[in-house]
Structure 1
Amino acid sequence: MTHPFISSGRLISYLMLAGLVAYGLNYQITKTLLHLSALVALITWLRAGVLCFTKKNNLPVNIDLKDPRIILSTLLLLSASIVLVETSLSDTFMSDRFRKDFVTPAICFALILPVAAVDKRAFQLFHWAVPIAILTMAIPGIIDQYHDSHPDHRTSGNLNLQIIYGTNLAILAASNIAILSSKNNWEKLGFIVFSIFAIGIGSWAISMSGSRGPLLSIIIVSFIAVGWNGYRYLGITKTTIILLLIVTLFSLIVYNSSTFKRVQQGFNNYSSDTRNSSLGLRLEMWKGAKDLIIEHPISGVGVGQQNDHFKARNQEEQGYMHPEATDFIHLHNDVINAITWMGIPLGLLFMAFAVYPLIWALKARKEVVPQAMIAVSVIYLLNGLTNTPSIRATSLTLMLSVVFLLLQFSAYRSETPSSSSNAR
């Protein structure tokens, strides 16, 4: 969307940049800045609306329906509407929580996406904001870990769940890795050193949290990002050496953390078919969810109502599901969770907002901004295989913050090619 209120549009982007940096320090600061950005965006929408009624010729407001910012904004509004309807039909604790955690941030981002604007300085600041955000989030988590003398302590940093903490750190680290692996940043020595330091500290914090999914996802993205750009620009030999160094670094990090022990336990539990292990309980829930999806493919069972069905089935069929698997508030998989609660049509439609950024980025994967988008999307979707980041405001806000900024920079580079090439 183009409009004459450039100052308001840039203010939104700078507020979101500040929110990204502040995220690791205190999520509440980021949430407040997001709400303030949405307020500025709402005022901008109203001013644009007034112009549409007062200007008869040469209308200074233009909406391009093919713009990815408009498309994502529409998908977020659609997902928020689905959640509002589904939660109104289900009187559970999870309904109230899901409505609060998803609808507000989704509407905020839907408002700011089309009207925000960036300049060259914002683009440059983003390069530094990401590693700074990693450090402000990773260092408190590491301090928490060493402050607790229990060897199995799984730190949560400034967030209340270690797996969300690990997922969000992985999102930031993946974005930084993609930006760093771009050829356009290889001559910026200070940025390279600072980014590598931040990625190392971030990976260390992820590993110390004991969250296996986030660590595995960041290792996968690191290989893809470095391998893709390395083979294109550095050649096979140099890239292979870099990849070997990455393997060594991650091996040392993992081996000297609680994650290594948890990975071993995971393999042992899986091989021994331990039903009440972390993986075993997930498999139990997914087995039960499969049956619920078959029985209720269109309507779903309702938000947060899967446990009622599981417990009823346990009474009818002895040993159907381990009792511990019937007490979780969600199903530990974003897609399975959505289609079990809402049915297949609405569940998949709800998840469209999370998949669209990846689809958009894959079409322009040779550019640095789409590559960063691919990295962020892959991390988010991979962690959604064993967790439900889409129903938590903390992970949703961070992912959409990074996606929001990347889409703004992509539009900026396409609209001002000479400026954007210098910014790279």
Structure 2
Amino acid sequence: MTHPFISSGKLISYLMLAGLVAYGLNYQITKTLLHLSALVALVTWLRIGVLCFTKKNNLQISIDLKDPRIVLSTLLLLSASIVLVETSLSDTFMSDRFRRDFVTPAVCFALILPVTVADKRTFHLFRWAIPIAALSMAIPGIVDQYAHNQPNYRTSGNISLQIIYGTNLAILNAIGIILIMTMKPLKHPVLLVISLLASILGIWAIILSGSRGPLLSIVVVSLLTVTLVGLRYLGWIKTIIIVALLCSVTTFAVMQSSMSSRLSVGFSNISSNVKNSSMGLRFEMWKGAKDLIIEHPISGVGVGQQNDHFKARNQEQKGYMHRRATKFIHLHNDFINAVTWMGIPLGLLFMVFAVYPLIWALKTRKEVISQAIIAVSVIYLLNGLTNTPSIRATALTLMLSVVFLLLQFSAYRSEAASSSSSSR
């Protein structure tokens, strides 16, 4: 979308970049900057509306309905509407929390996506913002870990949940690795050093969080990224060396932490079908969710009401589900959670916002920005297999902030390329 209010559009970009940098230090700062950005966007929308009514013959506004920013904005509004309807039908603690954690950030991003303006300077600032954000998130977690000095302690940095902390760090690290692989070292030596340091400390903080899903997702995405991007920019010899070093350093770091035992215990519990284990309880919930989906495929059971059904089934059928599996507030899987709560049609429709950036980026996967969006989306969706980041504002805000900025830079590059070709 193009409009004449360039200053307010750029202001939103700078506010969101500041929010990205501040995220690791204090999520509340980022949330405040997001709300302020939404307020600026709302004023911009009002000015655009006035312009439409006062200058009918000379509109300086262009809206492309195929623009990914417009599409994602629409999908976020659709998902927010679904959540508002579903939570109004369910009087549970989870309903209030889901409505608060999802609707507000989703509407804010829906407002700012179409009207934000990015330029070359904001893209350069973004290259600095990513490693600084990763460092500001990783360092407090590492300090917290060693301050407690307990063998089984798992850090969560400045975020209260280890798996969300690990997921967010994995997202930042994935983009950081792509930027490193596509960076010109001699042109940006200081940025290269900071980015490398951020990647090392970021992965180390993920390991210290003890979050197996984020660690596995960042390892998989990093290996694929380094291999594909490296073969394109560095050649196969340098790529093999980098991959070997990455595997060696990661393996060594895992072996020096409690993550090693958590991984081995996790695999052992899965192979032995230990129901009282972390993954065993997830399997129990998913088995129960499968039955609920079959019984309520259209309407779902309601937001946060799965445990009532699980406990009733446990009374009817002895040993149906481990009792501990009936005490979680969600089902530890984004898609299963959404479909169980809202039914298959609305549940899948709700989750489209999380899948769309990946689908769009795959169409232009040779571009660096698209590769970064693919990395972010894959990590977010992979972690959504054993957790529910889509119902937590802390996870949702970071993912959408990064995708939002990347889509703005993609639009800027497309517009710059179009103007360059038309001027020839």
Q: Structure 2 length as normaliser, TM-score?
A: 0.97
Return the offset for 1:126.
Answer: 0.1
Would you say 1:213 and 2:213 are equivalent positions?
yes
Q: Is this contact kept in 1: 2:183–2:192, CA < 8 A? A: no
What's 2:19 paired with? Answer: 19
Return the offset for 1:193.
Answer: 2.0
Matches within 5 A, 1:318-397: 318-397=318-397
Return the offset for 1:237.
Answer: 2.0
2: CA distance, partners of 1:383 / 1:283: 16
> Aligned to 1:109, what secondary structure does the other structure show?
helix
2: CA distance, partners of 1:89 / 1:144: 41
Matches within 5 A, 1:64-83: 64-83=64-83
Return the offset for 1:245.
Answer: 0.5
Q: Give the letter for the 2:260 counterpart.
A: F
1: CA distance, partners of 2:203 / 2:418: 35
Q: Is this contact kept in 1: 2:70–2:113, CA < 8 A? A: yes
1: CA distance, partners of 2:217 / 2:269: 21
Return the offset for 1:362.
Answer: 0.5
What's 1:34 paired with? Answer: 34
Q: Is this contact kept in 1: 2:24–2:133, CA < 8 A? A: yes
Deviations 1:281-329 (A, max 9, x none): 0000000001111111111110000000000000011000000000000
1: CA distance, partners of 2:241 / 2:67: 40
Q: Is this contact kept in 2: 1:77–1:106, CA < 8 A? A: yes
Matches within 5 A, 1:264-279: 264-279=264-279
2: CA distance, partners of 1:233 / 1:89: 53
Deviations 1:92-140 (A, max 9, x none): 0000000000000000000000000012111100001000000000000
2: CA distance, partners of 1:280 / 1:186: 50
159 and 183 in structure 1: CA distance in 2 versus 1, 3 angstrom threshold = closer
What's 1:90 paired with? Answer: 90
> 5+ unaligned residues in a row in structure 2: which ranges?
none
Matches within 5 A, 1:118-267: 118-182=118-182, 188-267=188-267
Return the offset for 1:372.
Answer: 0.5
Q: Is this contact kept in 2: 1:142–1:157, CA < 8 A? A: yes
Q: Give the letter for the 1:156 counterpart.
A: S
Would you say 1:302 and 2:302 are equivalent positions?
yes
* Seq. identity, %: 75
Query: Mean alpha-carbon deviation: is it higher for 179-188 or for 51-60?
Result: 179-188
Please, what is the CA RMSD of the aligned residues?
Answer: 1.3
Return the offset for 1:261.
Answer: 1.3
> Aligned to 1:254, what secondary structure does the other structure show?
helix
Return the offset for 1:265.
Answer: 1.2
What's 2:50 paired with? Answer: 50
2: CA distance, partners of 1:96 / 1:22: 27
Q: Give the letter for the 1:295 counterpart.
A: E
14 and 183 in structure 1: CA distance in 2 versus 1, 3 angstrom threshold = closer
Return the offset for 1:149.
Answer: 2.2
**Number of residues of Structure 1 aligned to a counterpart in Structure 2:** 420
Matches within 5 A, 1:276-291: 276-291=276-291
Return the offset for 1:419.
Answer: 10
Deviations 1:38-73 (A, max 9, x none): 000000000000000000212111211010000000
Q: Is this contact kept in 2: 1:179–1:369, CA < 8 A? A: no
411 and 374 in structure 1: CA distance in 2 versus 1, 3 angstrom threshold = same
1: CA distance, partners of 2:134 / 2:419: 27
Return the offset for 1:185.
Answer: 6.5
Q: Is this contact kept in 2: 1:281–1:322, CA < 8 A? A: yes
Moved over 6 A (4+): none
Return the offset for 1:186.
Answer: 7.6
> Aligned to 2:46, what secondary structure does the other structure show?
helix
Q: Structure 1 length as normaliser, TM-score?
A: 0.97
Return the offset for 1:418.
Answer: 9.2
Q: Give the letter for the 2:26 counterpart.
A: N
Return the offset for 1:402.
Answer: 0.2
Q: Give the letter for the 1:397 counterpart.
A: T
Return the offset for 1:23.
Answer: 0.1
